[in-house]
């Protein structure tokens, strides 16, 4: 067991065994790319819309699932999977198209849950009704790319919606008993440690069930890469990142499921930080430091005390 409420431990408790994600591609785009809000995406977003590890959208959903299963089969025996739609904005398409791809995924006999990455401003009434229908079949998770609660940073990264839109989306999802996970990027230019912790504290009270902590990756062919070349802004070191992740864990609600402590940047696109290419080393360093600090022993949390430590 991890010294925090990890996704891996949560899934073992729910399903009695380890469950793996299959990263799928529904062929969606994004309002921040098709001209609705903009054409260049968020400042950090790659040409693949964060879906570099997803299967090809030229394959059917069933074919993508089988392809993902084959890639995992060579490493370990797996019986249960989460169908994860990751690339771009996966509710930004006609509802009939979404119903087709999501239903094909959720009805696969070895899929135990459906996880959908999207934007808070792409959850209209028809989409919410579809998600509610699917949630009656198997659990549906919606992953929202918030990144930060601070409007100045949000404008800089070209997120394209105010915090109030996130709040409304969260309320609508929770009213339908749909599990929610929120993405937060650590290391955005100009954000202080305290501002990052303010975002995490905010999520404690937002209704979020889980959180993904993501290291800022500077990738080739992004506007962030151009900004980095011009300014050489500070990029977190491994020690700084480990310390910041642990600080975030310390202020998270004890029942908040930690879906991610870092992330993968495609090695052929990654400019910085290069230490992040060794994900195993990063995770091992976080866990080793956690054990040494023993920050998770005997802590208590109440809604009136959002910032807590042992």
Residue 40 lies in a domain: yes
pLDDT digits (tens, 9 = 90+) for 271-288: 999 999 999 999 999 999
Overall domain count for the chain: 1
In a domain, 156, yes or no: yes
Per-residue pLDDT tens digits for 35-45: 999 999 999 98
For residue 51, count other CB atoms closer than 10 A to its CB: 22
Report residue 217 CA to chain centroid gap: 14
Model pLDDT for residues 132-173, shown as the tens digit of each residue: 999 999 999 999 999 999 999 999 999 999 999 999 999 999
274 within domain boundaries: no
Classify residue 281: in a domain, yes or no. no
Residues in the chain: 310
Domain membership of residue 296 (yes or no) is no
Handedness of CA 28, 30, 33, 37 (dihedral sign): positive
Q: Answer yes or no: is 137 within a domain.
A: yes
The first and second tokens of residue 29, run together, are 């785009």
Residue-level pLDDT at 53: 62
- Closest C-alpha to 110, from 78, 70, 85: 78
What mean pLDDT is predicted for residues 100-111?
A: 98
CB-based contacts of 284: which residues, under 8 Å, 6+ apart?
A: none
What CATH number has the domain bearing residue 46?
A: 3.20.20.70
State which residues form the domain around 13: 7-216+240-264
Q: Are strands 140-147 and 270-272 parallel, antiparallel or unpaired?
A: unpaired
Q: What percent of the chain is modeled with pLDDT above 90?
A: 81
């Amino acid at each position: 067991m991890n010294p925090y409420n990890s996704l891996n431990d949560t899934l073992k408790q729910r399903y009695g065994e380890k469950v793996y994600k299959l990263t799928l591609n529904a062929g969606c785009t994004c309002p921040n790319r098709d001209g609705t809000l903009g054409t260049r995406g968020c400042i950090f977003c790659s040409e693949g819309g964060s879906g570099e590890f997803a299967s090809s959208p030229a394959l059917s959903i069933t074919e993508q699932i089988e392809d993902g299963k084959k890639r995992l089969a060579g490493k370990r025996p797996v019986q249960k999977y989460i169908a994860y739609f990751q690339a771009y904005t996966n509710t930004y398409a006609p509802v009939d198209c979404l119903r087709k791809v999501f239903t094909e995924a959720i009805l696969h006999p070895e899929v135990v849950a459906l996880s959908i990455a999207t934007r808070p401003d792409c959850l209209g009434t028809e989409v919410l009704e579809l998600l509610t229908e699917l949630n009656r079949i198997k659990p549906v998770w919606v992953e929202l790319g918030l990144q930060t609660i601070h409007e100045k940073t949000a404008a800089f990264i070209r997120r394209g919606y105010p915090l109030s839109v996130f709040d409304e989306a969260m309320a609508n999802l929770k009213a339908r008993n749909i599990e929610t996970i929120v993405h937060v990027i650590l290391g955005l230019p100009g954000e202080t440690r305290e501002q990052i912790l303010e975002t995490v504290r905010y999520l404690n009270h937002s209704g979020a069930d889980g959180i993904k902590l993501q290291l800022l990756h500077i990738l080739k062919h992004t506007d962030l890469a151009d900004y980095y070349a011009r300014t050489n802004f500070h990029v977190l070191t491994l020690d700084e990142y480990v310390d910041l992740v642990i600080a975030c864990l310390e202020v998270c609600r004890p029942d908040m499921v930690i879906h991610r402590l870092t992330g993968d940047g495609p090695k052929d696109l990654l400019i910085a930080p290069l230490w992040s290419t060794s994900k195993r080393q990063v995770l091992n360093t976080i866990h080793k430091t956690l054990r040494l600090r023993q920050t998770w022993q005997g802590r208590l949390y109440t809604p009136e005390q959002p910032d807590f430590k042992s």
